[in-house]
Amino acid sequence: MKATAHILELRNSDAAPSLANLLKAAGDPFRLNILRVMAQDSFSVSELCDIFSTRQSALSHHLKILIEAGLLSRKKEGTATYYRRALPVGTLAPLHEEILLSVDAEQLSKPLAQGVIRVQKQREDNSLAFFKGHLARFREQQELIAPWKDYSEVTLQLLERTGRFPPPQVIEVGVGEGWLLPELHKRARHVFALDLSSEMLEQARRYAGHLNNIDFVCGSTTALVDCGLSAEVVIANMVLHHTSQPQLIISEAAALLTAGGSLIVSELCAHDQAWAREHCGDLWLGFLPEQLEDWARDAGLELDASVFLAQRNGFQIQVQHFRRS
């Protein structure tokens, strides 16, 4: 399997969107609902067909108009193409921003909101099913892409320079088999080990359950936010590409941080190796560094440091340290 580290960003590059295209795209209620649905996520054509209960031919017509207007961008991920909101640029950026503000001022209809939840739940179920079925070989398969030792060392180095060391509380989101927990045990007064997969969490408990300052929690970041938990450091190691809503994870991780707290994220850079979906349970083929930075900024975080690690197999790892002001 030959790995290449490039991303296909498919947009109309021949010319900037015209005012007529922008107004045409914004003049249809169905297209405004597409923009509304994409406020917090990106979706493939098949997922959008599910959300809107419509045929692909009809949906593709509207997506084409939104692309031509510069309101959407699309990215190839293996055999699927994912659509998301485009960033406002150029002389029409103020109008573009006003359109999105107007779109977001109106809530999604109940059927569309239920459709979004259904698609995101299906992504989550697919990921959990993978981990349940491949538990015994997970580390071996994960190591095919990124050796754990490489990014864990950088994660720990960034943890030690967060400014408040040792931190009173650390939350690790998506602990997997718990490989990092013994090191966090040494460097924090208390650790919360969080994972959605009960099977994975049980593996982590067997690996690190003898350590006396670790609580194991089966659930989501949403549950931690809802119960009012906070921490000085939140760590997400190779988690986002397995989650149905990576932007939400960053947003909720930020909400868990105390003032001046740190979010440390290690992730794959964007790639085009579709085999990772089947063999490693990846929902996303990595992320552009700018994408993580944008999500963090939207969540009220500032970028403090970035480290990039090239792999011999062609993949690249990014380790980002974000700080809450």
Which pLDDT tens digit goes with each residue over 195-229? 988 888 999 999 999 999 999 999 999 999 999 99
Q: Are residues 176 and 269 located together in one domain of the fold?
A: yes
Q: Are residues 81 and 20 located together in one domain of the fold?
A: yes
Counting every residue written for the chain, the total comes to 325
Q: Are residues 159 and 249 located together in one domain of the fold?
A: yes
Q: Measure the CA–CA gap between 208 and 185, rounded to whole angstroms.
A: 9
Which residue shows structure tokens 């969080």? 194
Is residue 70 a contact partner of residue 86, using CB atoms and an 8 Å limit? Answer: yes
> pLDDT-derived band of residue 14, with 50, 70 and 90 as boundaries?
very low
Q: Are residues 74 and 153 located together in one domain of the fold?
A: no
CATH of the domain at 170: 3.40.50.150
pLDDT at residue 132 in the model? 58
Please indicate, yes or no, if residue 289 is contained in any of the structural domains. Answer: yes
Question: Sheet holding 231-237: strands in order across?
Answer: 214-218, 190-195, 169-173, 231-237, 257-268, 316-324, 301-310
Domain boundary among 108, 126, 146: 108
Q: Are residues 40 and 104 located together in one domain of the fold?
A: yes
Domain boundary among 56, 91, 108: 108
Q: Measure the CA–CA gap between 51 and 45, rounded to whole angstroms.
A: 10
Q: Are residues 144 and 223 located together in one domain of the fold?
A: yes
For the chain, give the percent of residues with pLDDT over 70: 83
pLDDT at residue 139 in the model? 57
Q: Are residues 155 and 302 located together in one domain of the fold?
A: yes
Torsion of CA 230, 188, 300, 219, to 10 degrees: -50
Residue 33 domain boundaries:
9-108
Q: Are residues 311 and 227 located together in one domain of the fold?
A: yes
- Alpha-helix residue ranges (DSSP H) falling in the chain: 19-26, 29-37, 45-52, 56-68, 93-104, 110-133, 138-143, 148-160, 181-187, 198-208, 221-226, 246-256, 275-280, 289-298
Q: Are residues 66 and 147 located together in one domain of the fold?
A: no
Is residue 273 a contact partner of residue 105, using CB atoms and an 8 Å limit? Answer: no
| Best CA proximity match to 189, nearest among 217, 139, 231, 248 | 231
Q: Are residues 104 and 143 located together in one domain of the fold?
A: no
Say yes or no to pLDDT of 64 above 70: yes
Higher pLDDT, 275 or 306: 306
Domain boundary among 66, 90, 108: 108
Please indicate, yes or no, if residue 47 is contained in any of the structural domains. Answer: yes
Number of domains in the chain: 2
Higher pLDDT, 239 or 315: 239
Please indicate, yes or no, if residue 302 is contained in any of the structural domains. Answer: yes
Terminal Cα distance for the chain, rounded: 43
Please indicate, yes or no, if residue 132 is contained in any of the structural domains. Answer: no
Question: Which two tokens mark 267?
Answer: 């992730």
Please indicate, yes or no, if residue 221 is contained in any of the structural domains. Answer: yes
Please indicate, yes or no, if residue 201 is contained in any of the structural domains. Answer: yes
Q: Measure the CA–CA gap between 89 and 234, rounded to whole angstroms.
A: 33
Q: Which amino acid is at 11?
A: R
Please indicate, yes or no, if residue 218 is contained in any of the structural domains. Answer: yes
Q: Are residues 98 and 157 located together in one domain of the fold?
A: no
Q: Please provide the average confidence, as pLDDT, over all residues in the chain.
A: 85
Please indicate, yes or no, if residue 291 is contained in any of the structural domains. Answer: yes
Which pLDDT tens digit goes with each residue over 115-172? 988 987 887 776 666 555 555 555 555 655 567 777 888 899 999 988 778 899 999 9
The answer to pTM > 0.75 is no
Which pLDDT tens digit goes with each residue over 234-285? 999 999 988 888 999 999 999 999 999 999 999 988 887 776 676 666 788 8
> pLDDT-derived band of residue 5, with 50, 70 and 90 as boundaries?
very low
CATH of the domain at 76: 1.10.10.10
Query: Angle at CA 206, nearest 5°, toward 200 and 207?
Result: 90
Q: What's the whole-number mean pLDDT along residues 298-309?
A: 91
Q: Are residues 163 and 289 located together in one domain of the fold?
A: yes
- Cross-strand bridge partners of residue 324: 301
Q: Which amino acid is at 50?
A: D
> pLDDT-derived band of residue 190, with 50, 70 and 90 as boundaries?
very high
